[in-house]
Amino acid sequence: MNPPAPPVSAAGLMGEISFDAAGLVPVIAQQHDTGEILMMAWMNRDAVVETLETGRVCYWSRSRAALWRKGETSGQVQRLVELRLDCDGDTMLALVDQTGVACHTGRRSCFYRAARDGDWQVIAAVEKSPDELYGER
Amino acid sequence: MNPPAPPVSAAGLMGEISFDAAGLVPVIAQQHDTGEILMMAWMNRDAVVETLETGRVCYWSRSRAALWRKGETSGQVQRLVELRLDCDGDTMLALVDQTGVACHTGRRSCFYRAARDGDWQVIAAVEKSPDELYGER
């Protein structure tokens, strides 16, 4: 999985991706060398093309209804190492190199709650405060 | 992440999960010890409860509109090691112990296509033929 994937043309790849009724496909982001699952988010067609062509991961923000260049505000960018597609073509796996933390709470991974003893227990510490990530700079 | 999680009561956990308009939540299945991403599928409320209470992963099949006890037909079951929830509560990560292969094509992982040289290249071999998985037994 190294060296980093060079920018590639997306044209030949788009036809195999099954976007849902909203024009979106879920994308799992995994740290390429450690295997950590960092987050899951969504891409539309433009986000897939931008991600492949720039080598920097771009999602579609459903809440803002806009392209979401990961790290644009927080500095916590994801460099694309390799994009993978599942058997049905309706889910993607992005192997990435994550700068800093992936989660807006300041944790490395968004999946920081584990079902233990009948409750969701927080199993990861905040590494950067949200103020540091999103505050005035 | 060992030993395997014992069956737990699901009641206290359900309130934090945000199911979508169709009553579903996406679940990423990751092999607990190797970090491999095996597949992504969906659970409804009943599937989450059954998974937590039995320790064996049960999804909701959107195509069949029925509970899908992974491995029921193929024998390729997933034992739940730990269930995790993301920051927004709308995606889950299941750490599992996968018997055999996760993909209906007979490959270990559903994510066997990689964007390389402008095309989707198959990067994993079939380990069990679909005939062996789904044929007459």
pLDDT at B36: 98
Name the pLDDT band for A69 (thresholds 50, 70, 90): very high
Residue B23 CA: distances (Å) to CA of A107, B90, B117: 28, 11, 39
pLDDT tens profile A105-115: 999 999 999 99
SS3 of A49, please?
helix
Question: What is the torsion angle, in degrees rounded to the nearest 10, for the CA atoms of residue B93, residue B42, residue A14 and residue A48?
Answer: -40
- Write out chain A residues lying below 8 Å of B39, CB-based: 86
Tokens of A111: 């999946």
> Looking at residue B12, what is its pLDDT?
84
How many angstroms separate the CA atoms of B59 and B124, rounded?
Answer: 24
Tell me the chain A residues in contact with residue B120 when contact means C-beta distances shorter than 8 Å: 13, 16, 85
Q: Which residue has the higher pLDDT, B36 or B4?
A: B36
Nearest to A119 among B12, B91, B115 (CB): B12
pLDDT in the model for residue B11: 81
Domains of chain B: 14-100 (3.10.20.810)
Does B47 contact A at CB distance below 8 Å?
Answer: no
Q: Does residue A87 have a pLDDT over 90?
A: yes
ipTM of the complex: 0.92
Residue listed under structure tokens 């991403």: B37
Residues 96-135 of A with CB under 8 A from B: 103-105, 107, 110-120, 123
Categorize the per-residue pLDDT at A119 as very low, low, confident or very high, splitting at 50, 70 and 90. Answer: very high
- For residue B137, pLDDT beyond 80: no
Contacts of B40 (CB under 8 A, 6+ apart): A26, A28, A86, A91, B26, B27, B28, B29, B110
* pLDDT reported for residue B135: 83
For the cut 90, the answer to whether the pLDDT of residue B70 exceeds it is yes
What is the arithmetic mean of pLDDT over B86-110?
Answer: 97
Identify the band that residue B122 occupies on the pLDDT scale cut at 50, 70 and 90.
Answer: very high
B-chain residues near A116 (CB < 8 A): 5, 8, 82
- Report the pLDDT value the prediction gives residue A137, as an integer from 0 to 100: 47
pTM of the model: 0.93
Predicted local distance difference test score (pLDDT) of residue A10: 82
Question: Would you state the pLDDT for residue A43?
Answer: 98
- Residue B131 and residue B133: Cα distance in Å, rounded? 5
pLDDT digits (tens, 9 = 90+) for A15-55: 999 999 999 999 999 999 999 999 999 999 999 999 999 99
* pLDDT of B8 over the 90 cut: no
